Structure 1
Amino acid sequence: MSPSDRDNRSTPRTERQNARSVRRLDTPGQNRRWKLNLDSDVVGVYSERVARFLGTGRYLAIQTIIVIIWIFLNLVVISLRWDPYPFILLNLAFSTQAAYAAPLILLAQNRQENRDKVSLEEDRMRAEQTKADTEFLARELAAVRLAVGDTVTRDYLRRELDDLLTELSDRLLGDQAKREEQAKREEQAKREEQARRDDHEREERTRSGGVLDD
């Protein structure tokens, strides 16, 4: 077999290999590894519930009762002894509980820290908004004061009204005194007129009596 025939045979094989490599590069690779998809919010909610339960007196009482019953049955009831002294299975249960409790508590703390951060951010934004509103109101109030600087103030108007009220009161009192004095004068005039009439009537009676005597 000549070298040229070998080259002709190897060329199609090389082309097929190159085509396969190109096709593999053009085709997106598929990740066949199995992934565990868990919702972080759901895990966080359950972890907070477990952490809250672990920090209650109810959990402590239940665990104490279970441990006492466990030790009592394994020490006294020989027929039901499944974990004899030194209680290796009980120690394993405590170790497993501690191994799961610590991450759950950390998850609950992380969620609480995130909530605290959000709350602090909202408080900061609210404080900034309140500060901006206060500054705006202060500027508006200063502008209003400048605008009404040349107008009548409340104290000045109050003093003017007090003076006017005093003057009106004096006038009313003076008019009332004048009316009372006028009424007294009229009453005195009436009395004098009545006295003159009485004197005139007496004179008339006296004259008429003298004529009758004559």
Structure 2
Amino acid sequence: MAEREGPRLDVPRTPRRTLLPTYDPEVFGQFSERIARFIGTGRFLLWMTVVIIVWIAWNIVAPVGWKFDEYPFIFLTLALSLQASYAAPLILLAQNRQDDRDRVNLEQDRKRNDRSIADTEFLTREIAALRMGLGEVATRDWIRSELAELVRELEQNDREAAGAREPGQSRESDQNR
């Protein structure tokens, strides 16, 4: 049988070279989460407000040659739009990662809950079996009542035996027999 030319199905292909940069999704995800957490803080809002106020004040008060953005502040609008266009996807990426973590935690909690329910049901059955078994076990009170009844019977037998003896015989003579 002649060997077939071309790619073999039992050997993995070599990866293709692409023009796109490669990156580690986990590292990029962690980076996006850090940025999203920072964007959601009061510190970020404070710094953003300070930068905008300084930007506007500089471009209103500064001498004409030093201004870099005139009144409609087109460059400021562009910078804020650029910041927003990057912030929104990073925040969504961070939320998706958090959803994935929450889903895994929920599944683990569900499994743990199922195990707890199974353990509880097992212990309930075991306790029921022990209760049923205790119905057949001699308890301390039952043994005491049985012993008290035996003592009463022995005393009654002694009284009956003493009454059946001849009046001149003593108990010691009974024991010598």
Q: Normalising by structure 1, what TM-score?
A: 0.58
RMSD: 2.8
Residues 31-79 of structure 1: CA deviation (Å, up to 9, x unaligned): 4432322111111111111111111111111111111111111111123
Residue pairs, 1:120-159, within 5 angstroms: 120-153=106-139, 156-157=141-142
Secondary structure of the equivalent of 1:26?
Answer: coil
Q: Distance in 2 between matches of 1:101 and 1:51?
A: 7
Q: Equivalent residue for 1:48?
A: 33
Q: Does 1:26 align with 2:6?
A: yes
Among all aligned residue pairs of Structure 1 and Structure 2, give the percentage whose two residues are the same amino acid.
50
Q: Equivalent residue for 1:105?
A: 91
Q: Distance in 2 between matches of 1:148 and 1:89?
A: 86
Identify which of structures 1 and 2 has the higher relative contact order when contacts are C-alpha pairs closer than 8 Å and 6+ apart.
2
Q: Normalising by structure 2, what TM-score?
A: 0.69
Q: Distance in 1 between matches of 2:89 and 2:121?
A: 48
CA positional deviation for 1:143 = 1.8
**Counterpart residue type for residue 38 of structure 2:** F
Residue pairs, 1:58-137, within 5 angstroms: 58-78=43-63, 79-137=65-123
CA positional deviation for 1:157 = 4.5
CA positional deviation for 1:80 = 1.4
- Aligned pair count reads 139
Task: Report which of the two has the higher share of helix.
Answer: 1
Distance change in 2, residues 1:151/1:67 (3 Å)? same
Larger radius of gyration: 1
Q: Distance in 2 between matches of 1:44 and 1:72?
A: 37
Residues 136-188 of structure 1: CA deviation (Å, up to 9, x unaligned): 1112112222222222346x459849xx7xxxxxxxxxxxxxxxxxxxxxxxx
> Higher mean Cα deviation, 137-146 or 93-102?
137-146
